[in-house]
Amino acid sequence: CPSSPKPPASPSEKCGLLNVTKITEHGKKVRKNWTSSWTVLQGSSLLFTKNQAGGTSWFGGGQSKPEFTVDLRGGSVEWASKDKSSKKHVMEVKTRQGTELLIQSDNDGLVNEWYQALQDTISTHAWE
Ligand code: I3S
């Protein structure tokens, strides 16, 4: 996916560099820690790895383990309210497991694409 010159094979495969922070884990508030993460949407999972230079060998290379994965089934995505962050173009993703993430990029087109893709994924997998 990262090095592919073609568009992703299906709408539920997408990757890119986004700013991410957890705000809640197992239903408990945690301290924000914004990090630039290589983000991959694969099936109903959203995977994050640290932004290691280049990022072309996310799967193939040696550094390929995701640091953090969330299951989007039964979750939700919405635009974050102003009180959640002072940043622009912030989405809030909530999972059934009680994790809440903020996902952001200054590139609004990019964030809009991700918003759409996450919504599509969540509705596609709504009955699982
Ligand atoms: O919601 P908060 O507490 O205003 O979030 C800010 C903090 O996490 C801050 O770090 P410290 O915990 O060291 O104060 C971050 O640097 C900010 O980016 C957070 O706010 P934004 O509005 O950027 O999400």
pLDDT per residue, tens digit, the chain (128 aa), is 654 445 555 555 899 999 999 999 999 999 999 999 999 999 999 999 876 554 454 444 444 567 899 999 999 999 999 999 999 999 999 999 999 999 999 999 999 999 999 999 999 998 88
Closest CA to ligand 1's atom 18: 34
Residues 60, 63: Cα–Cα separation, whole Å: 8
Cβ contacts of 120 within 8 Å, gap of 6 or more: 11, 12
Which of 32, 86, 103 for a ligand 1 pocket mutation test, highest count of atoms within 8 Å of Cβ? 32
60 DSSP β-pair partners:
none
Q: Residue 13's pLDDT is what?
A: 81
Report the predicted TM-score, pTM, of the whole model to 2 decimal places. Answer: 0.84
Q: Residue 61's pLDDT is what?
A: 41
- Ligand 1 atom nearest the C-alpha of 23 is 1
Q: Residue 66's pLDDT is what?
A: 75
Q: Which residues contact ligand 1 via a Cβ below 6 A?
A: 31-32, 34, 85-87
Residues 101, 114: Cα–Cα separation, whole Å: 14
Question: Look-up: residue for tokens 């990262």?
Answer: 2
Q: Are 72 and 117 in contact (CB under 8 A)?
A: no
ipTM summary value: 0.89
